[in-house]
Amino acid sequence: MDRPILIVGSSHVAFRLTKKLRARNIPFAQIPSERFVEDTLDTSDLEHAKEVLSAHRVADARAVCLLDDSDARNINLLLATLAVHERGPIYVAITNENLVAHIASSHPSVHAFNPHAIAATTFADAVHGETHVHPKEQTGPSIQKVLTNIRTDRIIQKLLALFVVAIVTGAIFFRWSEGASWSDSVYLVSTLVSGLNFEDAIVHNYTVSMKVARTIIILVVQFFTLVAFSLIVDRIIKRRAEVLEFGRKRYTLRNHVIVCGLGRTGFHLVMELLRRNEKVVIIEPNAENRFLPIVRAGGAKVLIGDASLAKNLGDADIAHAAGLISIISDDLRNLEIGLNARSLREDIRLILRVFDKEIAEEMKTRFNIHFAYSTSSLAAQQLLTLLTESRG
């Protein structure tokens, strides 16, 4: 008899995975999350987790899937699992992208994955047509790799570099023309840069070349100072204006993608769309959303407001959008946004996030939704593929 797969946790992904395993008659056992939150006055949480896992014969499992909703709980469970069963494989769900790579490299039997990143690729594929990507390729590049390609304004760094070059060049000139020491040459340049001359500079009888050099250095330094100051002030004012402008700006774009909601799945989706060079407008109600600075730096447009309101959909230029993806964590709100968008434009391509896969299928049929996906079902499907491949 095949050894069972041990599923630890009670998340949506765990629920979906158990249904898929049962449908394929693959033996499994499940430990609900509640088993790890009992009163443990006599033992630590880690020791209690070891006891629960050992009682469920984790060492006999063909694979272990740690699928709690909490990253902290999953990490604790991972430590407990490795303490009693190192042979693996161990699959652990981690929603913090910064931790995925570190945890995956912690032990050869550990395989960390981000359910939101998995789902994001499928949502992005649906914008221009459903494609079938091999599960091993679905997660795409890490967020760190995507961020290295973000377009950023480097002009201030360049000005600082040129400023340093001007100072070094001036010091070399004084060293060469007057035979001064390096310390004296740097000191003389510093008096020119700061505008402070204490009458103890090296040269008193200036030659023509010295006058020209001093004049150039003074003008260049003053120019760099004024430009750098102007850019810094401009950036402060611009960012303040952008904050005040949130929710009131009307965009005029073509063939862009409107993303409603910037949670973890929404963030990964936006980064994936930007990686594919798509134009993105995000409608997000929370002006303090922690992902906003990153997506804006990546080139996404942001509109702060309620995506279910026709005015906000109009301000996002739904009339010329390639598609709309509503990915907030509320099925009813996603349906409301989708239907409101349909009322404004009948041919708009609609892609909705729906937690229940069966409801998602019904929505596509009943409400003419192009694509309705369950994030947990997509993650469970990839995990099932990995489990069946390792079985073979």
Per the prediction, the chain carries an average pLDDT of 79
Could you tell me if residue 56 is inside a domain? Answer: yes
Tokens representing 183?
């310390």
- The reply to whether 277 and 210 lie within a common domain is no
| Amino acid code (one letter) for 184 | D
> Do 76 and 109 belong together in one domain?
yes
Query: 251 in a domain, yes or no?
Result: yes
What residue spans of the chain are helical by DSSP H?
12-23, 45-55, 71-84, 97-104, 115-125, 143-148, 155-178, 182-194, 208-245, 264-275, 292-297, 310-315, 331-344, 357-366, 375-391
Total-model pTM: 0.66
Q: Are residues 292 and 219 part of one domain?
A: no
In a domain, 272, yes or no: yes
The tens digit of pLDDT for each residue in 223-266 reads 777 777 777 777 666 666 555 555 457 888 899 999 999 998 99
Residue 163 reports pLDDT greater than 80 = no
Domain-terminating residue out of 183, 216, 245: 245
> What's the average model confidence in pLDDT over 120-139?
62
Residues 271 and 281 in one domain: yes
Domain boundary residue among 113, 135, 166? 113
Answer yes or no: do 269 and 241 share one domain: no
Place of tokens 């509109």: 303
Taking the C-alpha atoms of residue 344 and residue 206, their distance in angstroms, rounded to an integer, is 76
- For residue 136, the model assigns a pLDDT of 37
**CA 60 to CA 83: how far, in whole Å?**
14
Q: Pick the more confident residue, 164 or 4.
A: 4
**213 versus 49: which is more confidently predicted?**
49
Same domain, 228 and 254: no
CA-to-CA distance for 76 and 94, rounded, in angstroms? Answer: 12
Question: What is the structure's pLDDT at 138?
Answer: 37
Highest mean pLDDT among 3-7, 176-180, 207-211: 3-7
pLDDT at position 390 is 64
* Cα–chain center distance at 60: 37
* Together in a domain, 241 and 252: no
Q: What is the pLDDT of residue 151?
A: 41
Q: Is the pLDDT of residue 319 over 90?
A: yes
**Residue at 133 is within a domain:** no
Query: Is the confidence at residue 206, as pLDDT, over 60?
Result: no
For residues 308-317, average pLDDT:
92
More confident: 317 or 169: 317
129 occurs within a structural domain: no
**pLDDT score for 245:** 53
Residue 96 lies in a domain: yes
Query: What mean pLDDT is predicted for residues 212-231?
Result: 71
Residue 388 inside a domain? The answer is no
370 and 271: one domain?
A: yes
Which of residues 213, 228, 245 is at a domain's end?
245
**Among candidates 245, 232, 244, 259, which has minimal Cα distance to 322?**
259
Residues 207 and 321 in one domain: no
Residue 284: per-residue pLDDT: 93
**Does one domain contain both 15 and 85?**
yes
* pLDDT confidence of residue 133: 37
Work out the average pLDDT over 44-70: 88
Label residue 18 by pLDDT band (50, 70, 90).
very high
Identify the residue with better confidence: 167 or 77.
77
**Helix, strand, or coil (residue 51):** helix
> If you average pLDDT over residues 95-117, what whole number do you get?
87
Instruction: Kindly list the distances between the CA atom of residue 241 and the CA atoms of 247, 309, 317, 374, in Å, as whole numbers in the listed order.
Output: 12, 24, 21, 38
Is the domain of 254 the same as that of 366? yes
Q: Please report whether residue 350 resides in a domain.
A: yes
CATH of the domain at 70: 3.40.50.720
pLDDT tens digits, one per residue of 352-392: 988 776 676 776 667 777 788 888 888 899 999 988 876 55
330 compared with 130, residue with greater pLDDT: 330
Could you list the residue range(s) of the whole structural domain that residue 225 is in?
155-245
Instruction: Supply the pLDDT for residue 375.
Output: 85
pLDDT computed for residue 283 by the predictor:
95
Same domain, yes or no: 224 and 315: no
Number of folded domains in the chain? 3
Name residue, tokens 């709980």.
73
Q: Give the least confident one: 205-209, 289-293, 318-322, 347-351.
A: 205-209
Q: Which is more confident, 187 or 15?
A: 15
Amino acid at 247: G
